[in-house]
Amino acid sequence: MASIQLKNIRKVYPGAESATIANANLDIKDKEFIVLVGPSGCGKSTLLRMIAGLEEITAGEMMIDATKVNDLSPKDRDIAFVFQNYALYPHMTVFENMAFGLKLRGTPKEKIEAAINEAAKTLNIEHLLDRRPKDMSGGQRQRVAIGRAIVRNPKVFLFDEPLSNLDASLRVQMRTEIRKLHRELATTMVYVTHDQIEAMTMGDRIVVLKDGEVMQFDTPINLFNNPQNKFVAGFIGSPSMNFLNGHIHMDGDKIQFRSEDMHFSLPSAFKDKLLPYVDKKIVYGFRPEYIYDKAHEADKQLSEDVKIKITTVEPIGSETYLYFSYLGCPDNTFCMRTSSQHAYQIGDILTVGVDIDRLRFFDFETEERVI
């Protein structure tokens, strides 16, 4: 199918004080499923529309299959775009909607029918071909919109938040079907979403955007375990990573993290990287998944004992979210994810520790990861 390269891509709207997209560099491989994710206004849809040719590029080079496409119109880029609102013609049947683009290309009638029948079978919408959009559910309309893209057999599929109008259960079903479709078609797909769980479950690699800048472009597991900065660490994961501001302190040969109301010693292996932060501000980060009640996790290699007090208990089925404050630090609330087998109550005092391999520290000024 096609690879896509973005080289120093910028988008600046006339009169804007800052760039909507600032020097984006991405190398998307042939047949990859790439997800663009970030908060509202981060530029992910703008970036997708520049790939499609629906937005002009202010600076940089956009390459599809090693061909520069900056000045090519959307119809000449051989891409298919699946919109958030489906963009189906209400007066046409499903068959007519799917056939419309092929007819404009002058595709023979028998080839149109064959392509539509094959796509309809793949998407399980064969029984809908004679219906109009108003007579279908949101999930069915979305399948039709995807089918219209499939019949064109494009080099690249682009999806702009295609599941945002669906209810929660249907979203889960449809994202599974889109991933299955990607495997079957073996084509390049670029997918925009604001839902980081959707991004983590669908993408081969994920582009995390903030204020028009690429924060990290990596696999889902690396984004979760090895975030390059505090923003990625806080955005990826649900519940998000806990953060605590403090500084590094040396107590003889021991290296410690200290905040206003608490302190604990750190493994000696951290010393070399943390010495530059002695008596300087630093941010300590730990995920809810990697903090444990030492009464139940005696075999794990955990950080030094810390006492906490549970302030809120949220059971969510097989797991429970515990919100807590450190003893002596009541103004800050943190989250711990644990098994629902343990019956915790508000007010319980626990002795906890964090998995030593999962301790993370970030520079207070730059927010880049230190460890």
Query: pLDDT for 37-72, tens place per residue?
Result: 999 999 999 999 999 999 999 999 999 999 999 999
DSSP 132-174: -GGGS-HHHHHHHHHHHHHTT--SEEEEESTTTTS-HHHHHHH
CA 73 to chain centre: 29
Position 158 scores a pLDDT of: 96
Weakest-pLDDT range from 138-152, 206-220, 261-275, 306-320: 261-275
| Count of residues in the chain | 371
Q: At 290, is the pLDDT very low, low, confident or very high (cuts 50, 70, 90)?
A: very high
Strands 21-28 and 4-11, sheet pairing: antiparallel
Given a contact cutoff of 8 angstroms between Cβ atoms, the answer to whether 128 and 144 are in contact is: yes
Where does the pLDDT of residue 268 fall: very low under 50, low under 70, confident under 90, or very high at 90 and above?
confident
Smallest CA-to-CA distance from 260 within 282, 272, 245, 270 is with: 245
How high is the mean pLDDT of the chain? 92
Reported confidence tier of residue 183, pLDDT bands at 50, 70, 90? very high
User: Does residue 261 carry a pLDDT above 90?
Assistant: no
Q: Which two tokens stand for residue 315?
A: 């059971």
Determine the residue type at 201: T
Which pLDDT score, from 0 to 100, does residue 1 have?
60
> What is the C-alpha to C-alpha distance for residues 125 and 147, in angstroms, rounded to an integer?
9
- pLDDT-based confidence at residue 220 (cuts at 50, 70, 90): very high
The mean per-residue pLDDT over the stretch 136-159 comes to 92
Taking residues 7-25, what's their average pLDDT?
94
The dihedral built from the CA positions of residue 15, 18, 20 and 24, taken in this order, carries a sign that is positive
In order of 121, 177, 198, the CA distances from 144 in angstroms are 11, 13, 21
pLDDT of residue 299: 79
- Asked whether the predicted pLDDT for residue 173 surpasses 90, the reply is no
- Percent of residues, the chain, with pLDDT higher than 70: 99
Contact 327, 349 (CB under 8 A): yes
Tokens encoding 171 = 């979203």
pTM over 0.85: yes
CA terminus-to-terminus distance, the chain: 39
Residue 166's pLDDT band, with cuts at 50, 70 and 90, is confident
Work out whether strand 188-193 and strand 33-37 pair parallel, antiparallel, or are unpaired: parallel
Q: What are phi and psi of 196, to 5 degrees?
A: -70, -25
Grouping H, G, I as helix, E, B as strand and the rest as coil, residue 170 is helix
DSSP letter at 237? S
**pLDDT > 90? residue 224:** yes
Q: Which two tokens stand for residue 38?
A: 């970030």
Q: What is the residue-wise DSSP string for 281-312? A: EEEEEE-GGGEEETTT-TTS-BPSPEEEEEEE
User: Which domains, from first to last, does the chain contain?
Assistant: 4-235 (3.40.50.300), 242-363 (2.40.50.140)
